[in-house]
Structure 1
């Protein structure tokens, strides 16, 4: 990387810290620190929801499968889009209408105190393990980009994310996520077009990849691939429509904004499919030996995206890509830190230790929890870096299916099947974990090969197809059957518990009236104006990078990326009020 690239990356870090510093003024209490006071507009919430579901794993582990196996990886991201469209159609508005600060408060309302504590003590540690995977994925990429040792990279980048998420709470998290979308989308579009031009045009791409990466015959030639595709569609639906992930919509003004946010996130996933995975597929057609290019990586294929980018980029653009990769993981990690710190404060510390704690005390505990959780995630990521025989792709999906899915299933069913007793939540979780263990232990690929047979032996991807697919179906089926079984006992539940469940059901069906229900005045114009004036100077600096000595196509790439950010920023400023309100001139300080 050149000095220009390092300068661009340094500018990005400064810009993110600036966002955190500016939006700290929006924090006045625990509610504003952990859910932005329920004031966030749809375009910020939708951009954040998209980025939270996105991480550096897309450019490392997922890119590795695109490089090695072609189009099947796209199924995961297509399924994400479908999941968000279900958010827009049904789940998103109802999640906002739960009227809580943390997702575990909603679990308490739906399933009772026992389930709240059970899910809290299980989910928070597991989400820290998941965040460690995201951070490890970013460490792999930065190690390839800079030639640094992976653990050092994890430590440095992890501390940067921790600082940014600590300063501004959920306001800074959501605002930075939105800006990160504006950085990530243009740079991936540029990467794709430059890669296509490098290999000789789109017709050449089709010619070279038609029998490999683009081959639809894989559905029938790869054992268990159809099975895996269906399972992933189901898994991603569950992963994007459960009570634990309600936090992405608890921050918005009302159900209408939640619906629009879901549509935006789904549209971004649907539109990005080609731009994220065509570059590593093109890299596979170049014939380069990635083991020689990245001798420091235990899985050289995880550097495929970076390899093609390094080949086609003009001077200075690698810094923008590095910023985009950092943005992808930062959004997942900082939102996770903020969300889990909120759960610790509102679902552990306050109810169990300090029921009468002041708002100031809870805010301080939340910040301390953010620091502790951030350091834990860094330690987990360093631990993952020591595992040499497990790829990022397999690590992420194994974790999501065999570990995360058991607690996700009851949190989806609780929104769809409403009249079950409180113990349906924690008991379904235990059933799903038991089935996950049985599936992993006994229903492995050797069992499948013996029962169903294989065409020509079992490849690594066919093994993953089976193990991931069977995990989704057995866990989900067992969870649904058990949850339905518990309905028989709903009328035997205590009257107070049934009243709480009925109140929960009434809430999620009742639209939010922001003006009547929220004490703080709306900050619509203030949000748009601040975001606009943050975007315009950043985009202008990117446009000025066109002055770096580069071929014409390289200069145009910088202009395109910068102009995209400027255009969005200008639109935001234009559609906000020209004159600040008194509340804007004298923001309430924490």
Structure 2
């Protein structure tokens, strides 16, 4: 990176801290801190939900898959878009209509206190570890590519996220995520356009790729590819539509805004499919020697997105792209810190130790919990620094299937199947974990090849398609069968549990009327639009000024296009935030 790129990174981190400083005034109570007081407008929630749904893995591990094999990795992100559409059509309004501060509170209402504690103490350590893995992987990746000091990269990124979350809580998370969307998407679009121009247009892009990279018909001929694509579709639907993910929409103003937020997330994923994966395929078409450029990486193909960016982007824009990749990891970390601190305070500390605690006391404990969790994430990431291999990304994909699926299946089925006992959720998790341990040991890719008469040996891609696809379906079938089977015990449930479940479903299907429930005077739509609008305008102007960096005309136009887009959105938000004249 050049000195201009480093200057952009420094500005970016300072800008993120400025966002938290602006939005600290929005936090007056524990509801504001953990869910934006249930006042956030749709575009802010939709942008935040979108950013929290992916990480730097998209630009490294997933980009590697696009570079090596072409279109199949897009199936995961098509599935994300479908999952968000289902959010919008059905689940998002119902999540908001639970009217809780944390999603684990909704789990208690649906399944009782035991499932609440089991799910919470599964989620906090797992998501803390996941955040540390993402942070460590990001640091290792950038240390290898740009020569950045690993420890300092982890410290600076972690501390910025921690300070931002401490000061502004969920409001800072929502605003930062939305503005990061405005930064990331135009820059990725610029990379895509510049890469296609370098190849002479679409025809040159297609001509430079192996035929299989764009051959959708392979889903019917490639060993286990159809199984894997179907598994990824259902996996992402489950992962975006369960009670843990209710937290995405608890901050939104009402049922209508929740629906719009879901559609926005879906639309952004549709766009992302193209601007995230055409560039690494363009790197393949240009026949860039990745091993020569990144000799320290065990898997140089995982740097394909960075490689094509270095080739086609003007001086200074790589800093914007790196900022966007940092943003993808920071988004998951900041929302995770805020969410986990909320779980601890509202679902453990307050009900078990301080039921009469004041808002000020809970807010203080919430910030303390955020600080402790943030320090843990940074410390674990630094301790993992000896892990130099980016095979970590593949491991994360498998862990999401082996551990994530058993947890999320009952939290999805519990939203559509009413009559199950209180132990149905946590027992399904135990059954699913047991199934995860057994399935991988006995049902190997070779077993699958023999079952379907596929020739041996299988290549590495086919083996991975089988492992992920079969284990996913085995886990879903086993966990679903158990959960549905617990309906047989509904008649033995206590009347209190039956009444509690009926009350949960009644509330979940009752639309939120913000003016009646919260009071029209408590809405702050104009303040949100104005604050985010001015912040967006400022960043857009900064990007436009980068056009003065010595670059060819097309490079200067790329800066003006990216910056102008952000400025335009900022102006529109500022105008919408002005009070209406009488």
TM-score of the two chains, using structure 1 as the length reference: 0.95
| Structure 1 residues 453 and 385: alpha-carbon distance in aligned structure 2, compared to 1, 3 A threshold | farther
| Alpha carbons 1:420, 1:490 under 8 Å: kept | yes
- 1:454, CA displacement in angstroms? 3.0
CA distance in 1, matches of 2:326, 2:559: 19
- 1:482, CA displacement in angstroms? 1.2
- CA distances 1:7-45 after superposition (whole Å, capped 9, x unpaired): 111111111111100000000111100000000000000
Match of 1:369 in 2: 369
CA distance in 1, matches of 2:152, 2:291: 21
| Alpha carbons 1:87, 1:259 under 8 Å: kept | yes
| Alpha carbons 1:83, 1:240 under 8 Å: kept | yes
| Structure 1 residues 559 and 222: alpha-carbon distance in aligned structure 2, compared to 1, 3 A threshold | same
- CA distances 1:123-182 after superposition (whole Å, capped 9, x unpaired): 111111222232233224422452124454333322222222222100000000000000
Q: Which runs of no fewer than 5 residues in structure 2 stay unpaired?
A: none
| Alpha carbons 1:243, 1:411 under 8 Å: kept | yes
- 1:390, CA displacement in angstroms? 6.1
- 1:323, CA displacement in angstroms? 1.0
CA distance in 1, matches of 2:371, 2:460: 39
Match of 2:544 in 1: 543
Match of 1:559 in 2: 560
| Alpha carbons 2:145, 2:294 under 8 Å: kept | no
Match of 2:229 in 1: 229
- CA distances 1:435-487 after superposition (whole Å, capped 9, x unpaired): 11111222222332343343341222212111111121111111211111111
Match of 2:526 in 1: 525
Q: Does 1:490 align with 2:467?
A: no
- Aligned length, in residue pairs: 581
| Alpha carbons 1:65, 1:393 under 8 Å: kept | no
| Alpha carbons 1:161, 1:334 under 8 Å: kept | yes
Match of 1:126 in 2: 126
- CA distances 1:176-217 after superposition (whole Å, capped 9, x unpaired): 000000001100000001111122222110111151421334
CA distance in 2, matches of 1:141, 1:572: 36
CA distance in 1, matches of 2:516, 2:529: 23
CA distance in 2, matches of 1:51, 1:60: 16
3-state DSSP of counterpart to 1:259: helix
Q: Does 1:161 align with 2:132?
A: no
Match of 2:504 in 1: 504
Q: Which runs of no fewer than 5 residues in structure 1 stay unpaired?
A: 582-590
| Structure 1 residues 558 and 375: alpha-carbon distance in aligned structure 2, compared to 1, 3 A threshold | same
CA distance in 1, matches of 2:452, 2:384: 34
CA distance in 1, matches of 2:207, 2:193: 17
- CA distances 1:352-396 after superposition (whole Å, capped 9, x unpaired): 222222222211111111122122223443455544566143122
Match of 1:268 in 2: 268
CA distance in 2, matches of 1:557, 1:100: 44
CA distance in 2, matches of 1:580, 1:528: 17
Q: Does 1:568 align with 2:569?
A: yes
CA distance in 2, matches of 1:285, 1:508: 50
| Alpha carbons 1:545, 1:558 under 8 Å: kept | yes
| Structure 1 residues 300 and 150: alpha-carbon distance in aligned structure 2, compared to 1, 3 A threshold | farther
- 1:516, CA displacement in angstroms? 2.2
CA distance in 2, matches of 1:274, 1:64: 15
Match of 1:2 in 2: 2
3-state DSSP of counterpart to 2:415: helix
| Structure 1 residues 389 and 560: alpha-carbon distance in aligned structure 2, compared to 1, 3 A threshold | closer
TM-score of the two chains, using structure 2 as the length reference: 0.96
Q: Which moved more, 1:446-455 or 1:404-413?
A: 446-455
Match of 2:40 in 1: 40
| Structure 1 residues 373 and 575: alpha-carbon distance in aligned structure 2, compared to 1, 3 A threshold | same
